[in-house]
Structure 1
């Protein structure tokens, strides 16, 4: 009885003051016109704003639920009391307003900027206004039973759900790119046709051996990173070999070819390739490599010719099936990464390209001649943070505040910060970068105390501190604590 009495009182209050919801619908429309504060927002604003992605799920569920109930009621598939619908709609309005408020706080921090952020904000405003109108029309209909209030309620409810889809799409786009919700929509323009290379045109070396070496060897042996001086990205470099005493490739003799010897050593041998953590060549790949070398290592040998040899025919056929799948997957992955890059806004001042040896990875660097690039510009790269493996900000205006964003690039392996405005205070923000191997801090104001933060980077191998004020004592201390980190005083390579 007490709960029923409370419900009646609440309903009467809402009916009496129903015009408040109409004024609320109008008032929220002015929110996007509130200019940013001159002073930076407090940490408490940052704290509250970060709750926006959590709260937003409540209005998504509730608004959709109310529409579904109304549809079911219309076709007499469900009977729900008006009081229950009113409670659900009221709860959706409250969650909309809370989510809008937190979202506005997050927007005011400057962490999200650009056209998509503006559209997402307007979407949230229109959604809140539509739900406020729906509440107003529902209460007005309950008071007067006028049909136009019922019609207005349904229209406002449908508009709210349409706006909800639009706003959710813009929110997803902020984090995952413009096509976050529509990427896999079944009715859209067809993806560019992919046709496998005809078997008659395929070469044993270019199309088969290079394919598995690309996946398992070339990440450590390419033009940008040549361990042991060995580059495997072309036949000429393979023949040329590395810094070792043994030739990499000896035609007609796999046993004398270092490239074959290394992949057939015992796994626990220090010289076994690839190193621990990378997938070794499988039995078919080793057999095919051996056969190709022992039969002249001809880069022009066709698959059809090799298949005539009973010794290798079955291996080639098995591998061709795998190869087509791999090639198609690489094509689709590259297409996906290209779409992700194309979805970015306000990134005209940097170069972006896909890693030729990993279609999911992106390299970024400053354009030449250089243009202004600072901490706030890093925010525009958020949708591709997880894809960036190599980043160069040489000569940019990045400060230690930018380390917050750099620390979110979880796949980052190489980071070049020569001639930037950092002093190293933010280096601790990189501690979660479990893949970072190279860090160039040359020509910066990094000091002894701040440099010690590099000891928190688990995979770090090379640090360049050319033309800095780092003392010999700190260098010796770092080497003693972690001998695996090489401190370079000379100028590193420019990327």
Structure 2
């Protein structure tokens, strides 16, 4: 194509094409700014929150329009002339503008309500990629008559990337709203349940026998949530590491130097003995099996059938009924936990919140958190979970309708360790409801109307270690006074985690 022909095509290009190109370039500039230019908003400002919450209302428009454009292009390729280019141009133009509004509203919501986490960040980046690819597709579509084949190739390439990114971003959006297992859960439901059905000879010495001993005797004090002496005994990799004593719990090949064996063999009255006084210690058979496993290299692979020592085999045979009973109990507890989780997730779906196993509590308790955008959770919704109150260890009610009176119900969650009340209507007069929670270690009160007098209630929280107070109107003198009287209580002037 010579210069004269190209110039003539430029002159003949309709105004609507140049308008679409201009709009697309402006949206690309906007997306680059959102990515690179730091922007801050008045967090919790009702106007920004209102504008941000239009995101879930408008995001479906660009999705439908992108799919319509793609369907129209495919149809036009299969049957030329059936779709007029002006219709494609109109759909592209409206989809570029709709995507810009959806991404802008999402960004405002992201900033004004301080959402955080990799899932939210990846959803945001995915939206920027989708919007950028869509805008570039629109530009390439209008440049086809001028640039010819190259613009056509780029158009189809970026349209494909737009749809691929749209699918990924939509998946992340669904995970934010419905939970990360939203797609995989139905697949898991139709697969046959896996239950241990090993012959005794095939049982692994570590995972089936040693780990069962540690789970029943030691894990209640040495798990992800409660690691006495900074020692974890819940996985093979963890027991090879050192705790506060700076000695590894298990040194493969050397049972006498392994801290686990040292503590187990201490006299009952010794302060460092494991388990501590008042809890059942390990039997002679269990100690023998632990010693044998460590001395032979503390391997994850060795099976019961590979054990040759007659004395150890005799110990294993003697222990086998108890081991199998413990395994059955663990499995039974796991199945009961999964049934409770299923029931809770059904309730959570109706209330538009998310309930998941709390991995920091060794997966034995539940965590409750708000979805995106947050639902108006209050007293009525909390009471519906009352039968499961003792099984919640982590609760985030950020941006919910929770008030001080509702803390009465949270005070019944006896296993509660972390509580996020960020951006709620809490003023502080209900905090005494929480003071007797024996395990509560972390409390987030950022962006609440907490007053100086209410802060003093925290002095009676014996287990509390961290409190986030960013965005409150507390006086520094009061904060310093509380810190002085409770030096082990960390008062943090940061927003803190959302969950």
Give the TM-score of the pair, scaled to structure 2.
0.52
Return closer, same or farther for 1:273/1:421 CA change in 2, 3 Å cut-off. Answer: farther
Give the length in aligned residue pairs. 303
Residue number in structure 1 paired with 2:450: 446
Residue number in structure 1 paired with 2:354: 351
1:316-351 deviation line (CA, Å, top 9, x unaligned): 234321222222223333333333344456421222
Q: Cα offset for 1:206?
A: 0.8
Instruction: Kindly indicate whether the alpha-carbon contact (under 8 Å) linking 2:216 and 2:326 is maintained by their aligned counterparts in 1.
Output: no
Return closer, same or farther for 1:195/1:221 CA change in 2, 3 Å cut-off. Answer: closer
Residue number in structure 2 paired with 1:250: 251
Distance 2:302 2:423 in 1: 49
Corresponding position: 1:427 with 2:431: yes
Distance 1:447 1:278 in 2: 44
Instruction: Kindly indicate whether the alpha-carbon contact (under 8 Å) linking 2:263 and 2:272 is maintained by their aligned counterparts in 1.
Output: yes
1:53-112 deviation line (CA, Å, top 9, x unaligned): xxxxxxxxxxxxxxxxxxxxxxxxxxxxxxxxxxxxxxxxxxxxxxxxxxxxxxxxxxxx
Instruction: Kindly indicate whether the alpha-carbon contact (under 8 Å) linking 1:337 and 1:359 is maintained by their aligned counterparts in 2.
Output: no
Residue number in structure 1 paired with 2:386: 382
Instruction: Kindly indicate whether the alpha-carbon contact (under 8 Å) linking 1:334 and 1:359 is maintained by their aligned counterparts in 2.
Output: no
Q: Cα offset for 1:236?
A: 2.6
Distance 2:266 2:476 in 1: 41
Q: Cα offset for 1:300?
A: 0.8
Corresponding position: 1:305 with 2:309: no
Return closer, same or farther for 1:368/1:478 CA change in 2, 3 Å cut-off. Answer: same
Q: Cα offset for 1:442?
A: 3.5
Trace 1:4-403 onto structure 2 (pairs within 5 A). Answer: 196-219=197-220, 221-222=222-223, 230-242=231-243, 245-266=246-267, 271-273=272-274, 281-306=282-307, 308-344=308-344, 346-348=347-349, 349-354=352-357, 361-368=365-372, 370-403=374-407
Trace 1:463-474 onto structure 2 (pairs within 5 A). Answer: 463-474=467-478
Residue number in structure 2 paired with 1:30: none
Trace 1:480-495 onto structure 2 (pairs within 5 A). Answer: 481=485, 485-489=489-493, 492=496, 495=499
Return closer, same or farther for 1:393/1:240 CA change in 2, 3 Å cut-off. Answer: same
Secondary structure of residue in 1 paired with 2:356: strand
Unpaired runs of 5+ in structure 2? 1-192
Instruction: Kindly indicate whether the alpha-carbon contact (under 8 Å) linking 1:464 and 1:490 is maintained by their aligned counterparts in 2.
Output: yes
Instruction: Kindly indicate whether the alpha-carbon contact (under 8 Å) linking 1:194 and 1:328 is maintained by their aligned counterparts in 2.
Output: no
Return closer, same or farther for 1:397/1:454 CA change in 2, 3 Å cut-off. Answer: same
Return closer, same or farther for 1:338/1:297 CA change in 2, 3 Å cut-off. Answer: closer
Distance 2:217 2:394 in 1: 19
1:121-165 deviation line (CA, Å, top 9, x unaligned): xxxxxxxxxxxxxxxxxxxxxxxxxxxxxxxxxxxxxxxxxxxxx
Instruction: Kindly indicate whether the alpha-carbon contact (under 8 Å) linking 2:225 and 2:362 is maintained by their aligned counterparts in 1.
Output: no
Q: Cα offset for 1:252?
A: 0.9
Unpaired runs of 5+ in structure 1? 1-191
Secondary structure of residue in 1 paired with 2:240: helix
Instruction: Kindly indicate whether the alpha-carbon contact (under 8 Å) linking 1:403 and 1:429 is maintained by their aligned counterparts in 2.
Output: yes
What is the aligned-residue RMSD (CA, Å)? 3.6
1:341-366 deviation line (CA, Å, top 9, x unaligned): 44456421222234567776323223
Instruction: Kindly indicate whether the alpha-carbon contact (under 8 Å) linking 1:337 and 1:354 is maintained by their aligned counterparts in 2.
Output: no
Distance 1:328 1:434 in 2: 30
Return closer, same or farther for 1:429/1:223 CA change in 2, 3 Å cut-off. Answer: closer
Instruction: Kindly indicate whether the alpha-carbon contact (under 8 Å) linking 2:224 and 2:362 is maintained by their aligned counterparts in 1.
Output: no
Distance 1:493 1:237 in 2: 26
1:271-302 deviation line (CA, Å, top 9, x unaligned): 54456786654544333222211221111111
Instruction: Kindly indicate whether the alpha-carbon contact (under 8 Å) linking 2:223 and 2:362 is maintained by their aligned counterparts in 1.
Output: no
Distance 2:263 2:476 in 1: 39
Instruction: Kindly indicate whether the alpha-carbon contact (under 8 Å) linking 2:441 and 2:463 is maintained by their aligned counterparts in 1.
Output: yes
Structure 1 window deviating more from structure 2 (238-247 vs 393-402): it is: 238-247
